[in-house]
Chains A and B, each alone.
Chain A
């Protein structure tokens, strides 16, 4: 029953930090909640993705004390062991956690701050009954009802939820929630219907199959100038992208109290300062290179390095780009490189 979310919250609140979608000033945000009545589950999607929970906009790396000049003590973070429940996220955002996890674990050095938080988080996701016109998760092998990336999966059946444990962690938690009643066949049938309905309602189909092979040899193609000509170089697309991970490291010192901290904040390849050398040289000096880097990183470097696309098809960058530099159009344009070339060959 829908009203039982409150019960779930009360039961789990003590052990876990309970993050759920709520409305803040008309915007949907994922926040640690205090009142289960605030939870909104019949939403389209949030503007700021739930990556914010595991990879906050401002994330402390460590704090330190000084004797006025030199550091005397480094204080490590202790809050990473806290357990979290991330409730009510969509499959696309749940998939973004998998991508983020792969990224932060890649290479010789793992990023403990993210990975520990991820390991301590339990994801209770919900199927997406109402994909938007800009959603294209089916084009990247996702699905509005994809449940692989979650621990517990919910389906909104109208008056009640169909609950399914996916991972071991999720099943274990479910076994503790004895008051959950069994689903009957009707419910499962209804869930099936919703599944198909959602799949059909996604109209955007992008051809992303061999995109990295198309992009790889076309680094210097004039199409990049065309794609980036109206970009104003703000960070909207990447700040609100659930898979963007770039950050800047900054020190801050409180001289009055002899303490300080080093933290990371979100940064984006769309900013000029991102790659600017101290010498004044900038490898990515104009919007053309910066836009190119964003697209290539998601659709070319990700497949090459991690064998997956760096995009989940949530459509946030399409919805929110200030100048409407639509990713769907960009992909179409890029795909047209291929077709043009094939035409040439056949001619």
Chain B
């Protein structure tokens, strides 16, 4: 039954069904506003968009560059989604797998009320790693990027390059098993469009073995090299659907735990503590890496977090609303092989 279809035609199907659902929802007045993606004005980007009436639905797109996690706009709700008189508007949200996971996880953390949110599920087919392509092209300007068949075509003034989609998709998307929003029984009525039944995920985390087997010094050097360009603009934090704290730990000044300078030790401590805070919460959307203006790849760290919680606590964020996240729970039987013991 498996028919091999190309990315290009998949995109078209996703986009069409998404538009149809969106139109129907708006027409039936089931939602007041739809959050989705529109075509970016710069070749390697997409712009989130708020759609309020049926004619605007045409502007919705799906093109493998929709890297922003839209759950960000719901936690906390941006003012445009709140009516001064009616209160919270009914929101339709274009939901790829990781947006769905984010919403479900945020619900477990009591951060969001999904009653007036309708998830327009789409079977995401992967997000292009735009940083990797940019690096590959180097000092040339990309003027156009589109998918044709199973290839990514990048065009500039006097060059045209083809990349295979499989290789240039985000590292997280390569191993992603939750393409459409996971279905949970607590939210039966909130789904429109595609969604997927997920009970548990099998993942062997093979992609991490190479890095993990490196000696400590090499790991340190790699991390140091990767992070040293960080400008501390906090785009990673602001794009992360899980970073909803009103006051981030780096901004606290009573007491000041970690400084905000761009010295390497401060940068590393920021990313280390942020990783700590995302343990068991990261939904593997890769938005942090996609938005980083200086091209830092945080996906490796995010993968590691997923691995730790999966192996230690058998937990995957955002697929099961009945399970508490590991850092909100405790158990007598946790493994403690890392504790110091007498010989």
A interface list, Cβ under 8 A from B: 24-29, 40, 42-44, 47-48, 57-58, 130, 132-134, 225, 229-230, 232-236, 239-240, 248, 250, 252, 263, 265-266, 268, 271, 273, 286-288, 318-326, 328-329
**13 sample A-B contacts, Cβ–Cβ < 8 Å, listed by A number:** A42-B139, A43-B139, A44-B140, A57-B262, A225-B79, A229-B50, A230-B47, A236-B233, A239-B233, A250-B260, A265-B262, A268-B233, A271-B234
User: Mostly helix, strand, loop or mixed at chain B's interface?
Assistant: loop
Residues of A within 8 A of B294 (CB): 27, 47-48
The answer, among A133, A233, A263, A320, for a CB contact under 8 Å with B238, is: A233
Given A229-B78, A233-B238, A240-B293, A48 and B231 contact (CB-CB distance below 8 Å): yes
CB distance from B319 to the nearest CB of A (A): 25
Residues of B within 8 A of A286 (CB): 79
Q: Contact size class for B?
A: 35 or more
B234 engages A235 (CB within 8 Å): yes
Chain A binder among B37-45, B102-110, B211-219: B37-45
B260 engages A235 (CB within 8 Å): no
Nearest first, the 10 closest Cβ-Cβ pairs linking A and B are A322-B291, A234-B235, A234-B238, A324-B47, A235-B233, A26-B135, A239-B233, A57-B262, A58-B261, A324-B40
A130 to B78, CA, bound (A): 39
Interface presence of B259 (CB below 8 A):
yes
A309 to B263, CA, bound (A): 32
The answer, among B72, B134, B141, B234, for a CB contact under 8 Å with A133, is: B141
A230 to B78, CA, bound (A): 9
A236 to B259, CA, bound (A): 19
How many residue pairs link A and B with beta carbons under 8 A? The number is 124
Residue of A nearest to B39 (CB): A324
B interface list, Cβ under 8 A from A: 40-42, 45-50, 68, 72-73, 78-80, 134-135, 138-141, 143, 225-226, 229, 231-235, 237-239, 247, 251, 256, 259-263, 290-291, 293-295
Residue of A nearest to B50 (CB): A229
A323 engages B47 (CB within 8 Å): yes
A324 engages B72 (CB within 8 Å): no
The answer, among B41, B138, B139, B263, for a CB contact under 8 Å with A58, is: B263
User: Mostly helix, strand, loop or mixed at chain A's interface?
Assistant: loop
A235 to B238, CA, bound (A): 9
B47 engages A236 (CB within 8 Å): no
CB distance from A242 to the nearest CB of B (A): 13
B141 engages A132 (CB within 8 Å): yes
B42 engages A318 (CB within 8 Å): yes
A250 to B253, CA, bound (A): 10
Given A133-B141, A288-B79, A27 and B260 contact (CB-CB distance below 8 Å): no
A265 engages B261 (CB within 8 Å): yes
Given A130-B141, A322-B239, A57 and B232 contact (CB-CB distance below 8 Å): yes
The answer, among A25, A58, A328, for a CB contact under 8 Å with B225, is: A25
B293 engages A44 (CB within 8 Å): no
Residues of B within 8 A of A25 (CB): 225-226, 229, 295
A81 to B180, CA, bound (A): 60
A44 to B43, CA, bound (A): 16
A123 to B79, CA, bound (A): 46
